[in-house]
Amino acid sequence: MSKARRNPVNMIAAHAILITYTLIALFPVFVILINSFKNRKSIFREPLALPDADSFSLVGYQTVLKQGDFFLYFQNSMIVTVVSLFLVLLFGAMAAFALAEYRFKGNTLMGLYLALGIMIPIRIGTVAILEMMVQTGLVNTLWALILVYTAQGLPLAVFILSEFMRQVSDDLKDAGRIDGLSEYTIFFRLVLPLVRPAMATVAVFNMIPIWNDLWFPLILAPAEESKTLTLGSQVFIGQFVTDWNAVLSALSMAILPVMILYVIFSRQLIRGITSGAVK
Amino acid sequence: MTALTLTNISKSFGQVEVLKNISLTVEPGEFVVFVGPSGCGKSTLLRLIAGLEDASSGEVQIDGNPVNNLPPAKRGIAMVFQSYALYPHLTVRGNMALGLKQAGKPKAEIDDRIAKASGMLAMQDLLDRRPAELSGGQRQRVAIGRAIVREPKLFLFDEPLSNLDAALRMATRIEIARLHRTLGASMIYVTHDQTEAMTLADKIVVLNDGLVEQVGTPMQLYNDPANKFVAGFLGAPSMNFVPGKQVGFPDVHVLGIRPEHLRITQNGRISGQVIYVENLGGDTNVMVETVDELQVIVRLFGQHDIASDTKIQLDFDDIHGFHFDADGNRIRN
């Protein structure tokens, strides 16, 4: 911003609002983090105090790690999230390309059909999905979750990506055709790199609900070997007794991978959300 | 053998017929310009020749071979787009090499062709830059270079100068003309700018509403237009049209006179009032509203001091009048 347009009062006000919002947003995360490093008594006595020599304890992390399967849950969550995201992005982008690029009968209708999933929550179909998974023998496998999450993510992905693909210059694709590139090469080499910000946006919007989901893991894959992290953490929450140290530690660790993925996508994400706002 | 032959080409998008029964030939080494107002189908016709659109009916022959069923890459053409359409992730060299690599040419030959083309366009220093690091004019040169390395039988230009500023447009226009002389290749050039059409073309094809209105050399079209549309489209400022009976030709529906053929006199056939004067230095354009509320433009050579709202009389030599009938067709005598 130029110096002439900078007004100190406005600047302070704007930053005050932003800082307040940041504090509010980060506060719960902060509380979880500091309490995961305290012993049980201190958690309840002074939940907002930082861990000190007296209250510092790694008992929560020890419990979680001793539980043994925790790494398996972690791995399961990671596999489910990454594979689902990959499939959503791949198929979503391909469908979006077809809708945006080719004139065929029923193009608009197909687009509407694919976008219908945005309006209908997939959980309505849970019973039918469970029956299907039982019949195909996919219950208690990671594939059950991957397939459901892929289906859940596709509508929004197709919707967002087809909008972005329409903006990719037609001349560029035609230049590729004249140079003898196949439609697949045009898609992967010319179009996909140009819609990367949109892909990152779709990835982030899909990643967090998948990572956090408790519903489908609980119903479709509750077996020990296919539990996800969110489901696995539930063992520490009992009806009568809850091991808060362990819950907080498990949650703290569950934040990490999402944060790493977010950092990877975020630079692209910001471009995706603001693109079109300014040229 | 002709470089390009179109036979009875028609093209419809749904119910809309954008090209109607077009037949055309382009001789080897000829520079042909398709010109017409926006929406007349000239770009569609070019895309159809390139193979980016399919003709609804009719045949396209390039170099004597029917190419209706060949994909663009196999037609022996190269195309330069209005928006340059360079591959953003490749360097200039990569942009030029891609088509040849795709065709499986040996590396030595690719390097050779790139060296030759970049020498021709004076852009050896740009080869390792990416499109984002180039100016508009440089990008268009790269796009032209990418077309040259393919050594096509037919060059297709789709309004290549529209995105450039006036000075650069003129420079690039001259460069394209020079290139055509050096390469001796057949070229088809689409534009809505009649200056480009007049200066570049060996042959102009005037299109309107999906139909070919007239084909000929620039001067043929200027001096001997077949109908009112062609007469009005070529020439700037464009031709004046006045009802025949007002200027002493009762059996002529409309009479056309070019602005440079009108002169200001004491006692002329057209009288009116000056509404605006454009002083261009070399020329002076005088806009006159006649008593029947028609606007005509007079183009005077040199500088003239004429005030707005002056009442003046205009006249012309009969030999310079173009006669048109009620359908806009030329009446020749």
pLDDT in tens, B231-276: 999 988 899 999 988 888 888 889 999 999 999 998 888 889 999 9
Phi-psi region of B184 (alpha: psi -120 to 50; beta: other; left: phi over 0): left
Return the C-alpha torsion angle B35, B39, B45, B51, nearest 10.
130
Q: Which residues are CB-neighbours of B106 under 8 A, at least 6 positions away?
A: none
Domain count, chain A: 2
Interface residues from chain A to B (CB-CB < 8 Å): 169, 171-172, 174-181, 189-190, 193-194
Tell me the pLDDT tens digit for each residue of B268-286: 888 899 999 999 999 999 9
- Based on the fold, state whether residues A47 and A179 are members of the same structural domain: no
Mean pLDDT, to the nearest integer, of A258-277? Answer: 68
CATH number (domain holding residue A174): 1.10.3720.10
The whole-angstrom separation of Cα B230 and Cα B207 is 9
Q: Which domain holds residue A41?
A: 1-57
**CA atoms of A80 and A75, how far apart (whole Å):** 9
Rounded Cα gap, residues B32 and A33, in angstroms: 73
Query: What is the extent of the structural domain holding B125?
Result: 4-230
- Would you say residue B14 lies in a domain? yes
Distance CA B124, CA B119 (A): 6
Flag whether B145 is in a domain. yes
Residues A13 and A68 in one domain: no
Q: Are residues B207 and B279 in the same domain?
A: no
B222 and B296 part of one domain: no
Q: What's the pTM value of the predicted model, to 2 decimals?
A: 0.80
- We report the CATH number of the domain holding residue B181 as 3.40.50.300
One domain, residues A140 and A250: yes
Q: What chain B residue is nearest to A168 in terms of C-alpha separation?
A: B85
**A93/chain B closest Cα distance in angstroms:** 19
Burial class (CB in 10 A: 0-12, 13-18, 19+), B160: buried
Q: Summarize pLDDT for A52-73 with one digit per residue, the tens.
A: 877 788 888 888 888 767 888 8
Tokens of A131: 């029956």
Size of interface A-B (CB pairs under 8 A): 57
Overall average pLDDT of the A151-157 stretch: 92
Q: Which two tokens stand for residue B299?
A: 């183009």
Residue A244 lies in a domain: yes
- Across chain A, mean pLDDT equals 86
* pLDDT number for residue B14: 84
For residue A168, give how far its alpha carbon lies from the nearest alpha carbon of chain B (Å).
10
Number of domains in chain B: 2
Q: Give the residues across from B329 on adjacent strands.
A: B227
pLDDT classification of A269: cutoffs 50, 70, 90: low
Return residues 134-153 of B near A (CB < 8 Å): 146
- The count of other CB atoms within 10 Å of the CB of residue B252 is 19
Give yes or no: residues A51 and A95 share one domain.
no
